[in-house]
Amino acid sequence: MFKKIIGMLMVGIILMSITVYAYTGKFATAYHGNGYDYDANHFYSKLSGMGWTNVYNSTTASNTVKAEDILNTAASKGADIVYYSTHGYSPDNNQKYHLKLYSGYQGSEIDRIYPSGADALADGYKGFYNYIGDEFISQDSINGYYTNSKWSSNLEWIVLACCNQLEDRLFDSNDGCVKYARTMCGYPERFHQILGYHGGAPDDTVDYKVADRFGDLCNANTLYIKDCWKDANEYYNNDVWAVIYHYDNRTDKLKSPTSDTLVMSKPNIYFQYSGSSSSILNNFSNLTNLKSGIEVNGHGGNRILVEVNNKGVERFIKSWPEINNKQQLDSTLIDKNTAEKVVQKYNDSPIKEARLIYYGGSLMK
């Protein structure tokens, strides 16, 4: 009898030691587009049904749209996750990465939000709430590593249900994914992940379905939150999803987040899309994820940058009739000799005039 009691006590102690308490937090939703706000509303309903507390909700339909909705109000009210939906634009036609706010359904543009303050200023948007902030204020081990990002409070995750914001055109400091990565280095707290798109986001016939599935997968708490986003999009045949995350927060789940990375530590931020991932902000070098790069002069003197990463994949920033959008090299690991052969390959092709511009993350002179 005594042994039986002892055994029962031990089982009870073990059970108590592995009890997991479900995490429920706060969320904010905002729709600032000029179409239907289905996705934001569905996300609102989904999180509310999971027992989460909504601290802010704004849509064009309610005529309460302001730039500070996403930059200040939601975060200052302690939201753990923010779902933000509107139209996103990338650097075509001499514009910078930005989000547009509209007056209502089929309404006109009333404001913009940029990841970069410098970009906002260059485009003539001078308001405090017209930019998130990606400028490093400190980059040393004494004062820490942080930017002027306004996303710097209790926030953990941002869903940017917007086109093109997490693009990776050149893997340099001008890319959308790198600009937004720097917004993840705020002070005093760094948020964990941005879930968005490196191409066109789903339209309003699909986006609410993605939001629903994303919420359901998060609620199940079996997949990491970034994998919930991947699955929710690919389930509806959208493969241009993208995620930016601090490496130490890669295993976040909605109900069991990991701890914030420390401001005193150098950020190590990864970019993931279509199953592949690479570091884009690590020790403040944005080229370390590439083994080599080749600049190719095309017809009329136009330049094409060919990216060759450590998996041996070439990606062309601008496509030409003579080349495919993607080509697989024979080598699975690009060394300098192989890179030089790639240069020769393009010099022997109709493109002509290729040169190695960097190797191993270092610019070549």
- pLDDT for position 281: 78
Single out the residue of 208, 243, 244, 248 nearest to residue 229, CA to CA: 243
Q: Mind listing the pLDDT tens digit for each residue in 224-262?
A: 999 999 999 999 999 999 999 999 999 999 999 999 999
The answer to whether 154 touches 189, Cβ cutoff 8 Å, is yes
The answer to whether 117 touches 126, Cβ cutoff 8 Å, is no
Terminal-to-terminal C-alpha distance of the chain: 82
Single out the residue of 264, 215, 265, 259 nearest to residue 235, CA to CA: 215
Q: Cα–Cα–Cα angle for 242, 112, 146, nearest 5°?
A: 60
Within the chain, strands assigned E span 26-31, 53-59, 81-85, 87-89, 98-102, 109-113, 136-140, 144-147, 157-161, 193-197, 241-246, 268-273, 276-282, 290-297, 303-309, 313-316, 326-328, 354-359, 362-363
Mean pLDDT of the chain: 75
Q: Mind listing the pLDDT tens digit for each residue in 61-98?
A: 665 667 787 776 666 788 999 999 999 998 876 678 99
User: What whole-number distance in Å separates Cα of residue 133 and Cα of residue 128?
Assistant: 10
Question: Mean pLDDT lowest for which of 201-205, 328-332, 340-344?
Answer: 328-332
Q: Where are the domains of the chain?
A: 26-282, 290-363
Integer-rounded Cα radius of gyration of the chain = 23
Q: Mind listing the pLDDT tens digit for each residue in 123-166?
A: 999 988 899 999 888 888 888 999 999 988 889 999 999 999 99
The CATH class, in words, for 26-282 is alpha beta
User: What whole-number distance in Å separates Cα of residue 166 and Cα of residue 189?
Assistant: 22
